[in-house]
């Protein structure tokens, strides 16, 4: 890029009231982190509720947790970690102004995101088939002492709310990645201006972190207790 076109690109990307692109980018990043912290508090409330009920109703939660599909849970964790890697490589391509590389990495990220949701769908349909959906399709009996059906149902309610909210975030994330992929394809980003790519990347990693905690809490923690 020649100096005059670079100056023009900077001119069109810079908005009031920022003094330069650096100032504008740092403000955008800080705003994104503040938004993600509100998301953290929302998921934090759910995690807090889960921890409290897990402590109070431990035998029932233990029994319910054994009905999770550990293989799908572990594979999905790996899928999301890989998608975070392809996302950072896309952001890095944006920082270096490599247009084709941005589009390629973002498409791979979307494919991994879809893989995650597809596997989640397999899990959900299995829960439906074996009557583990609280409220509308729930039938559970256990001979294990101290296990109460209502409390098992509570585990599944928390499971569906937490993984469902996470899946909703994945869907929103896929929409956002689609948007920045199209913008990148159209050449809207340069090494000087690519704030949307960076901030969608931050959102994607946040959603990954939520799953990093959901996986051990819902699938793993109660494996060994008998």
Partner 1 sequence: MAEHIIPKKTYIATWATLMAMTLITTLVAFVDLGRFNTVVALAIATFKATLVVLFFMGAKYTPRLMRVAITSGLFFLALLLVFSMIDYLSRLWPA
What residues make contact with partner 1 under the rule CB under 8 A?
A: 22, 25-26, 29-30, 33-34, 36-37, 40-41, 44-45, 47-48, 51-52, 55-56, 70, 74, 77-78, 81-82, 84-85, 87-89, 92, 95-96, 201-202, 205-206, 208-209, 212-213, 215-217, 220-221, 223-225
Q: With respect to partner 1, which residue has the nearer C-beta, 101 or 133? A: 101
Nearer to partner 1, 33 or 128 (CB): 33
SS3 state of residue 137: strand
Greatest CA span in the chain, whole angstroms? 77
Structure tokens at 75: 């594979």
Q: Least Å distance between CB 132 and partner 1?
A: 21
CA 210 to the chain's CA centroid: 6
Instruction: Name the residue nearer to partner 1 (CB basis): 74 or 129.
Output: 74
**For the chain, where are the alpha helices, taking DSSP H only?**
3-13, 21-56, 58-65, 70-95, 99-129, 149-185, 195-214
- Token readout for 34 is 């503040």
Minimum CB–partner distance for residue 170 and partner 1 (Å):
16
Q: Running DSSP on this structure, what letter comes out for residue 220?
A: I
Least distance (Å) between residue 157 CB and partner 1: 18
Closest to partner 1 by CB, 21 or 161: 21
The Cα 61–Cα 69 span in angstroms is 15
């Amino acid at each position: 890029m020649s100096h005059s076109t670079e100056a023009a690109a900077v001119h069109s990307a810079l908005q009031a009231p920022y003094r330069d692109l650096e100032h504008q980018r740092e403000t955008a990043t800080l705003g994104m982190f503040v938004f993600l912290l509100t998301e953290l508090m929302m998921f934090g409330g759910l995690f807090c509720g889960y921890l409290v009920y897990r402590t109070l109703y431990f035998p029932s939660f233990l029994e319910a947790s054994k009905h999770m599909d550990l293989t799908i849970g572990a594979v999905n964790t790996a899928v999301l970690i890989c998608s975070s890697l392809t996302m950072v490589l896309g952001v890095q391509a944006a920082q270096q102004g490599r247009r084709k590389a941005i589009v390629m990495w973002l498409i791979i990220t979307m494919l991994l995101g879809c893989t995650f949701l597809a596997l989640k769908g397999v899990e959900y349909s299995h829960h439906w088939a074996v009557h583990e959906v609280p409220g509308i399709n729930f039938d559970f009996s256990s001979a294990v002492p101290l296990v109460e059906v209502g409390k098992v149902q509570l585990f599944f309610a928390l499971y569906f709310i937490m993984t469902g909210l996470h899946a909703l975030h994945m869907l929103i994330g896929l929409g956002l990645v689609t948007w920045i992929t199209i913008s990148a394809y159209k050449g809207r980003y340069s090494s000087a201006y690519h704030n949307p790519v960076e901030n969608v990347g931050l959102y994607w990693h946040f959603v990954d972190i939520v799953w990093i905690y959901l996986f051990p809490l819902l699938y793993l923690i109660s494996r060994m207790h008998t």
